[in-house]
Structure 1
Amino acid sequence: MCKCSTKAFLLLFGTILWALAAALIWVSVQIFVEYRNIEELGKALYILVPTVVLILCAVLFFVVGLLGCIGSCKEHKCLLGTFCVCIIIIAVGLIVSASLSYHYRHKVEKSASKVLEKGLNHYKNNSIWRNEIDFIQEKFKCCGVNNATDWIDTPWGHHHPMEPYPKSCYKNETSELYLRKDGCVPKVKNFVVNHLDIILGTAFGFLGLLILGIIASCVLLCWRKKREEVPYVGLAPDGSQRV
């Protein structure tokens, strides 16, 4: 890779990093928006942990993009070195985010079951849990943990023995005919796993580009080092070379 093409690549790479930073922030914000009404569920499933790591990587993307553009234009050794180190840090951050996503996706079903059971038991006396469970059941068109009968053996069900299901379990009318009988765990699991897969795919997709950035910055640093090592050769008055 020649010097000019390396510099051009780093300039392009810095610009791409800004675009990627915006994309990462957009993905992260969308995930936060999705979970704003199911805060307890989000905490229990750790979905926000890898998302926060993505946001931190996005901030670094903005900084590193600037360093890459300035460093490649001025061939500043310190800036190029910092650029390379920052890219490595981002790569590690993306690997951490991907690893967390992969680790948590295998715990989603068990964690979702626990938090939904807790929500059903606190539904009667806790307005926060009531709003969250209602939102989940309406959003995912489900009822209960594994099925609608889970409501029968809860404080809410004991207090309303003739009609143990809350209104959010029904399609439009409080009648057995309109009762949703599917449990929420499978649907919540699919929802969360899909978001974790988005984080996983985003992290690995960006890693390939970061590796190219590391290679390009190292090439430019090596070129600069070789140029500094070449001694200045001038001509003596008699026409002979002098160092």
Structure 2
Amino acid sequence: MHSAGLPRSCLGFTNMLTFIFGVICLAICVWCAINTEFFREVNYTITKSPWVKTIANFVNLKLWFTPMTSVLIPVACLIIFTSCCGILGAGCKTKCALKSYIFLVTAITLASFWILFVSFIYNIYTNKQTTRNYMTTTLRHYGKENDLITNFWDYVMVNYECCGVNDSRDFIDTDWHKKNLDKLYPVQCCKFANKTALMPRSKYCTISREDVAESFADRGCFVALRESIKGNKRILTFYAVLILLIYLMITSFAFCIIRGEPLIGPIDPEDVMFVPIRRDVEKAVQSQSSLDNMMFVDEPPKKVVQVVSVLNPNQRYTIAPNSLPNSIH
């Protein structure tokens, strides 16, 4: 197998799944933007899943004055474009596509990590006052219909059993309080007899801050979220490390394809410790070379005799056996 074959296969498979996910998200957003009721009827008839209603409600929420579809559609298109760069780079080994893929994956990973783990989780864990003030600012828009911020605070208050950012007094200057002057805080701050139906235990809830109201009016959500993060910091650290490892793995695959070879080169035989070969194994292996299979016979050494003339001492004869004198010095 080629040295870059495994990274190409892994990168191509991963981006193919990402491409399918992006196409599905884009189709849902466009479908809900055109006709949400038709999306609910068709999908609930086919899948019969309660997630259909949840997805449809989430897509139709508004982020301040902007519908969520106007935010999710560009995000889905970005995911599709990034996965296409990864597929093109893995399939055709196009370096330009691979470099674009590395840049887009890096930008998306850094943005997601910064928003989720740094701006939200880390700042709450370290009790940053600026984050507390920003959360109080977002709470002022609480009470709007089909609003993402309102749904976020409803979810936090119900599931983390808290009220407001600091306490229930944070709702005094909100849009919700202007429409509900007879109440001190929303029903989501109450202790429930039935959490699904939002049925409070006490009839005095939302109109009193005393113990008889049986509410969480004095427990702020910032403290509740901080306690939850402290209790689950190992799991959150695991997820952060997992995201980092996935990012490093994907970018390593892309770098392998660009180089055309693995990140770790072949091992030099000279660096490997010498392991002696057993003699019986060495004898059993026969060489296929013709030179190794040839037999050579050593020639006996030649004897050379030098004869000196009596009449002329400077004249000498060199005689080899069975040959005439071949040289005279």
* TM-score interval for Structure 1 and Structure 2 normalised by the shorter chain: 0.5 to 0.7
Query: Cα deviations across residues 189-219 of structure 1 (Å, max 9, x unaligned)?
Result: 668x999995784355223232133123312
Question: Helix, strand or coil for the counterpart of 2:103?
Answer: helix
Larger Rg: 2
d(CA) in 2 for partners of 1:211, 1:107: 31
Match of 1:64 among 69, 83, 86: 86
Amino acid in the other structure paired with 1:180: F
Q: How does 1:93-132 map to 2 (within 5 A)?
A: 93-97=107-111, 100-101=114-115, 102-105=117-120, 106-107=122-123, 110-111=130-131, 113-116=133-136, 119=139, 131-132=150-151
Match of 1:205 among 243, 246, 256: 246
Question: Helix, strand or coil for the counterpart of 2:260?
Answer: helix
Q: Answer whether contact 2:3 2:260 (CA < 8 A) is retained.
A: no
Amino acid in the other structure paired with 1:210: T
Aligned residue for 1:87?
Answer: 101
Q: Which runs of 5+ in 1 are unaligned?
A: 41-47, 72-78, 221-243
Q: Answer whether contact 1:140 1:187 (CA < 8 A) is retained.
A: yes
Aligned residue for 2:311?
Answer: none
Question: Helix, strand or coil for the counterpart of 2:220?
Answer: coil
Q: Report the CA distance shift for 1:178/1:213 in structure 2 as closer, same or farther (over 3 A).
A: same
**Larger RCO, structures 1/2 (Cα 8 Å, 6+ apart):** 1
If each structure's helix is expressed as a fraction of its own residues, which one has the higher value? 1
If each structure's strand is expressed as a fraction of its own residues, which one has the higher value? 2
**Alignment TM-score, normalising by the size of structure 1:** 0.53
What root-mean-square deviation, in Å, do the aligned CA atoms of Structure 1 and Structure 2 show? 4.9
Q: Answer whether contact 1:57 1:90 (CA < 8 A) is retained.
A: no
d(CA) in 2 for partners of 1:164, 1:16: 51
Q: Answer whether contact 2:15 2:86 (CA < 8 A) is retained.
A: yes
Aligned residue for 2:322?
Answer: none
Aligned length, in residue pairs:
194
Match of 2:187 among 167, 187, 197: 167
Q: How does 1:115-194 map to 2 (within 5 A)?
A: 115-116=135-136, 119=139, 131-132=150-151, 133-134=153-154, 136-151=156-171, 156=177, 159-160=181-182, 164-170=184-190, 171=192, 172-173=200-201, 174-175=203-204, 176-181=212-217, 182-187=219-224
Question: Helix, strand or coil for the counterpart of 1:85?
Answer: helix
Aligned residue for 1:226?
Answer: none
d(CA) in 1 for partners of 2:96, 2:6: 18
